[in-house]
Amino acid sequence: MKTILNELNFDQKKAAIHIDGPLLILAGAGSGKTKTLVTRLAYLISEVGIDPRSILTLTFTNKAAMQMRERALDLISKDSSSLPLLCTFHKFGLLFLKFHIHQLGRNNNFVIIDSDDKKRLLRSLAKELKVDLNISFIASEISKYKNSLLSPEVALEKAELKDYQKVAKVYVAYQDNIIENNLVDFDDLLMLTYQILDQNKELREEISNRYKYIMVDEYQDTNELQFKLLEHLTSAHGNLCVVGDDDQSIYGWRGANIRNILEFSDNFDGAETIKLETNYRSTQPILEAANRLIEHNSNRLGKNLISQKGEGPSVKLHHSLDEVHESKTIAQEIKELLLSGVHPDNIAVLYRINALSRSLEEGFTKEGLGFKLIGGMRFYERAEVKDVISFLRVFANPYDDFSFIRIINKPKRGIGKASIEKLQKFAFEQNSSFYGTLDMATQSQLQEIVGKKVSLAIKKLIGDIKFLQEKSKNSLLEFITLFEETIGLKNHYAPMVDGHDRILNIDEFYGYFRDSVEKTPSLTLDEFLNDIALSSEQDQVEGDIITIMSVHAAKGLEFEHLFVIGLEEEFFPLLGDGCNMEEERRLGYVAITRAKKHLTLCYVDSRFYKGRRKMIDKSRFLGEAGLIKSTSLKITKSSGYKKGDLVKHKIFGIGRVQAVNKTGKEYNLLINFGGNKKNILSSFVQSV
């Protein structure tokens, strides 16, 4: 262990040997935060003698958890009889609910629905309720409600504006539906976990005493609910070690609360802060640009990155007439890099707005460059893959009506929409689940409702499900082959225009299933489904071709040769209502610090965007980073709040912003707290 500690620098070592009490490791980009965190984990187990089972480490992606687990295993003493729990927040919630959801009067054979399933269910409910709002907006608001611990009833009671009353009505119906079908969405995994711990003091103390040392990666990305959950988990001991970077807090739009890291010392008494400022990734010119840019933010703890690599090439600026010229020039430069022996994995192009990828895709295709686009449709969200997953869900839980309805006519069995509606009405009258009703019904009963052909198809399907369900309880190694032979999904998609691609996707899924079973012979169908439900987009970032992605998707990654396009006003940074300039600047900081040695920042004179060509100004960030002479653009600060936002006040609770007005250096917010309207300065509330 001494040798391992000696591999750390002074500040890393200081953080690694910290044992008791709250600790904030303020880790700059490329400063070895994962190495420090993993070494601390190994130190607690192998040197201090802490029982591994009493340590909980929480991450945000499965990929991060897996990498940390592998690195920790290399450091932990081989004599360790057990391993610490190292998983994502949501996986922890899943494990907790499997043991304790009965506290809420629910069964532990619940099924997790992903964002696509959630939207389909919301679309159905909105149609029933004659709500004509955008489904993504409804889904986002319900997610906000859950992460603010607002029940459907309270949300309905507090809703004043007409649109939010509609959302709250859908929320009520949605929650009733998923409880009735024993489903949980991603937000439930944490919300229900918190509710159980909050309501049961004895259990809260038991869980907190079980995990006496808690570590959290990427703490700047935590939201209000995750913060409250951590308060409960550490309530018996206060041993919380978090690592994060306030300058890389870029997820405010999805609920991340930067105040969690900025106010860590206020929230946890006796907290110590250790800064990691030595950067092992980038050369000094790149870090100087990043440091200068981020210094323009006022809401930060403050640190200055210093390169361990030393000097390197200057940051390069690339000026083009338009996006066509830009993409062509970048493609040609990349071709030269490839010809010089640079591996494609070491090259990436980033953008702030997804729409900018179109010109890159066209330019790269014309130049014959292979690329992967991160941020398109996720693998598990493709229709053919979701069909396979829905079948597997039904095998794991036949009473998952949501999945059963999806696969009832795939492949086509002549069971049309009208037949399904008749059968659903029959199930409702029987006061039973859809599948359960069809299983118990006699052939003659079904024939009377939907005719002989459809009734025979239904009984055949139920027979196939029972057969495969039984087979899934045995070895899963050959199960997926038997599934395809029995159901024939590939034959269903083969005649389609894009049938070849769809079959390739199905085969990819089957291969992944077999590989998972081979790696973990004891794997159950339920465990496999939960693992893929919890997978994230960034877990799929791999391969050996050039990467094109958004800055958000690039967080945590690094590249030897990096191009960032769209360094223009309105594109990077975004401007307009609701724009948070400090978060935009943090995005710029993240983009710059992805580069290891060669960084090219690109801007154009005009872009074709939203149906028209527009002349644009170069980004203020280029001036703030010291790469061009300071522009005439004023550095403006945004309140970060806009009409409709949910905010929280320490006295009045949760309210909705109805108006935003500038008042000196502050912003005056008109907030509706459940009918009680107040004018509050923006510094006295926080986003939820």
Per annotation, catalytic residue among 117, 141, 188, 217: 217
The residue behind tokens 């299933």 is 513
Name residues whose C-beta falls within 8 Å of residue 605's C-beta, 6 or more positions apart in sequence.
319, 320, 321, 322, 615, 616
Spatial distance between the Cα atoms of 678 and 647, rounded to a whole number of angstroms = 12
Spatial distance between the Cα atoms of 158 and 494, rounded to a whole number of angstroms = 51
The residues with which 320 forms a beta bridge, in sequence order, are 604
Question: Which of 633, 407, 613, 383 lies closest to 509 in space, CA to CA?
Answer: 383
Catalytic site residue 187? no
Name residues whose C-beta falls within 8 Å of residue 3's C-beta, 6 or more positions apart in sequence.
none
Catalytic site residue 34? yes
Please report the beta strands in 7-143, taking only residues with DSSP state E, as ranges in sequence order: 23-27, 55-59, 85-88, 111-112
Within its chain, how far is the Cα of 667 from the centroid? 30
Per annotation, catalytic residue among 187, 218, 246, 570: 218
Coil, strand, or helix at residue 321? Answer: coil
Per annotation, catalytic residue among 14, 34, 272, 605: 34
Catalytic site residue 53? no
**Residues 111 and 183 sit within 8 Å (Cβ to Cβ):** yes
Going by DSSP bridges, is the β-strand pair 676-681/666-673 parallel, antiparallel, or unpaired? Answer: antiparallel
**Residues 92 and 58 sit within 8 Å (Cβ to Cβ):** yes
Catalytic site residue 464? no
Per annotation, catalytic residue among 11, 13, 33, 326: 33
Coil, strand, or helix at residue 686? Answer: strand
Per annotation, catalytic residue among 158, 281, 594, 618: 594
Catalytic site residue 3? no
Question: Which of 505, 502, 510 lies closest to 476 in space, CA to CA?
Answer: 510
**Residues 520 and 531 sit within 8 Å (Cβ to Cβ):** no
Catalytic site residue 328? no
**Residues 353 and 584 sit within 8 Å (Cβ to Cβ):** no
Per annotation, catalytic residue among 39, 193, 248, 593: 248
Spatial distance between the Cα atoms of 468 and 470, rounded to a whole number of angstroms = 5
**Token couple for 161:** 């504006």
SS3 content of the chain, % helix, strand, coil (to 5): 50, 15, 30
Catalytic site residues? 33-34, 217-218, 248, 594
